[in-house]
Chains A and B, each alone.
Chain A
Amino acid sequence: MKRSLRRAKEFALERLLFLSGTASVVFVVLIFVFLLREGAAVFGHVSLGHFLGAKFWYPISSPAKLGILPLILGSLLVTAGALAIAVPLGIAAAFYIAEVAPKRLRTVLKSCVEILSAIPSVVLGFLGITLLVPFLKNFLGLPTGLTAFSGSLMLAFMAMPTIITISEDAINAVPREYKEGAVALGATHWQTLVRVVIHGAFPGIIAAAMLGIGRVIGETMAVMMVTGNAAVIPRTIFEPVRTLTATIAAEMGEAAQGTPHYHALFAVGIVLFLISFAINLTADLFLNRGKKR
């Protein structure tokens, strides 16, 4: 009797474990469903093509103009700038940390990277607005320091931890035999790195760059604080822009529930969700390919 009671208890517990295990799937589905619930209604006002392709975002004029092309271009510009800085620096730093640095220094450097990833984005935004923005305005002689470039600089640092740690894992995962083989053939350590290790680590490095993109596109607070938030199509990187994320964060507070503006902001959320979904899926494919070899 006692035994069957115990078995019933264990059965219940194991069901509970299973349910918790599937919770992540449930939450991903819930996020998508509840974004759709509030966002789908925007397509009663504009067509999908208009929403993604029209050049004007004047959500509170009447009738509201709900084209998110300027926002998409703003996000792309800031992201491209950030990647141009973060990818080369991040990969180089990953090589230094994984292959060159002495063991003690490696630990210190890795902690620095960890600290960087822990700094809240609002703190970086605060420093950006108090130090970086006035500095860039004076240094580059711009009418305002609140530009896409400021955003790119901030975001480059926020993407760095992702890029460094994942590239470093990929570099460490290159089989030792490869390196030993190269060295045995008379290659220097440097030649081994640039001719052998980099090839073995390549899929992982691609994944690192992709996840860096994901991190940058989704970043909100720091970007909103330093990019100036002008919802116009940018011509150069030294102009104010407004990103997809900043638009949601800045406007949701004032958008009345049920208005086209409100639905449009949720639809922007759907766009962001789909972008991060696609990026993570592809990065995962690259990571698995790296592992199989």
Chain B
Amino acid sequence: MRNESLKQRLGFGVLLLATLIVVVPVLSILVLILLKGWGALSWKFLLTMPRDGMRAGGIFPAIVGTTYLVFVSIAFALPIGVMAAVYLSEYARDNWLTRTINLAIINLAGVSSVVYGLFGLSLFVIFLNFGVSIIAGALTLGIMTLPVIITTTREALRAVPHAYREVSLSLGASRWQTVRHAVLPRALPGILTGAILSIGRVAGETAPILFTVAAFYLPKLPTSLSDQAMALPYHLYVITTQIPGIPESYRYGTALVLIGLVLVMNITAGVLRARYRKKR
């Protein structure tokens, strides 16, 4: 018997060790980037153009480009994603079509990010003749983030108790009125969570924008959706691998801005989700 309890303590110790090996590097990465990048941060760094072949100055155009990409891709993907989730949760029956749709969602989520880049190049840049542009990159990113929006929205819709629908229907409301007035308002925080999560995802992706929008360096800010743009993740890639002699703090500063942006989105989404789960 003592033997067994010793075994248990040993076993749990191994499990704990494995968990620490996963978790400790994550926390050290965050602390390291914060410490090393903090010194580079200033209003000048955030709000001016790069100078001296991007070895000095700021990262303003990359921030602007990423903002463009985030807004356009969410504006495209959010309506489609939410409507798709409403269809799947409120209308779809359990038949082959629904199963096909579910498989398609899983596959969209699994496609490699660089394959999305090829797809965007082939469809938007070449076939639809958008050229290398914000609109081509944003649509590519939008399609990539669709599975995130659909699955979180669907989860939020399913969490709305069935009674709401039954009461609404029994009062003579049509199916759509029920969805619109009884179900959607209660799923709103969950839908918002999905939207915010996908903002974080879109802001951090590099491979899908490589051939569809990203520019190495642009002296001017983009003025329309058919312009090329710089973007934060691609900028970090460029100053890390393509340009020698950049001060290290400058790289860490860029990484800090990028990771800060992504994490703020994720934490906001997490808080929101925890809140509405508690309410129920």
- Quick check: A249 and B11 within 8 Å, CB to CB? no
Asked if B277 is at the interface (CB within 8 A of a chain A CB), the reply is no
Asked if B71 is at the interface (CB within 8 A of a chain A CB), the reply is no
- Quick check: A194 and B110 within 8 Å, CB to CB? no
A100 to B16, CA, bound (A): 9
- Quick check: B236 and A123 within 8 Å, CB to CB? yes
| Chain B residue nearest to A101 in the complex (CB) | B19
A112 to B176, CA, bound (A): 40
A31 to B144, CA, bound (A): 11
- Quick check: A17 and B86 within 8 Å, CB to CB? yes
Report B58-113 residues with CB < 8 Å from chain A CB.
Answer: 79-81, 83-84, 86-88, 91-92, 97, 100-101, 103-113
| Chain B residue nearest to A275 in the complex (CB) | B112
A249 to B211, CA, bound (A): 8
Contact of A93 among B19, B104, B248 (CB under 8 A): B19
Asked if B266 is at the interface (CB within 8 A of a chain A CB), the reply is yes
Residues of B within 8 A of A89 (CB): 18, 21-22
- Quick check: B114 and A122 within 8 Å, CB to CB? no
| Chain A residue nearest to B125 in the complex (CB) | A257
Residues of B within 8 A of A52 (CB): none
A121 to B209, CA, bound (A): 14
- Quick check: A248 and B122 within 8 Å, CB to CB? no
Residues of B within 8 A of A160 (CB): 22
- Quick check: A24 and B146 within 8 Å, CB to CB? yes
- Quick check: A10 and B174 within 8 Å, CB to CB? yes
Asked if A34 is at the interface (CB within 8 A of a chain B CB), the reply is yes
Asked if B163 is at the interface (CB within 8 A of a chain A CB), the reply is no
Asked if B130 is at the interface (CB within 8 A of a chain A CB), the reply is no
Report A194-214 residues with CB < 8 Å from chain B CB.
Answer: 194, 211, 214
- Quick check: A281 and B84 within 8 Å, CB to CB? no
- Quick check: B112 and A122 within 8 Å, CB to CB? no
User: What's the nearest-Cβ distance from chain B to residue A109, in Å?
Assistant: 6
A217 to B234, CA, bound (A): 21
Residues of B within 8 A of A130 (CB): 240, 248, 251
- Quick check: B112 and A118 within 8 Å, CB to CB? no
**Known A90-B22, A112-B27: A24·B105 in contact at CB below 8 Å:** yes
B residues near A, CB below 8 A?
4-5, 7-8, 11-12, 14-16, 18-19, 21-23, 25-27, 29-30, 32-33, 79-81, 83-84, 86-88, 91-92, 97, 100-101, 103-119, 121-123, 126-127, 143, 146-147, 150, 174-177, 200, 203-207, 210-211, 233-234, 236-237, 240-241, 248, 251, 255, 258-259, 262-263, 266, 270
Q: What 3 pairs between A and B have smallest CB-CB spacing?
A: A218-B112, A120-B204, A21-B87
A-B contact pairs, 15 of them (CB 8 A): A25-B100, A27-B108, A93-B19, A96-B12, A96-B18, A109-B19, A114-B266, A120-B206, A126-B240, A127-B29, A218-B112, A225-B240, A248-B114, A266-B122, A284-B103
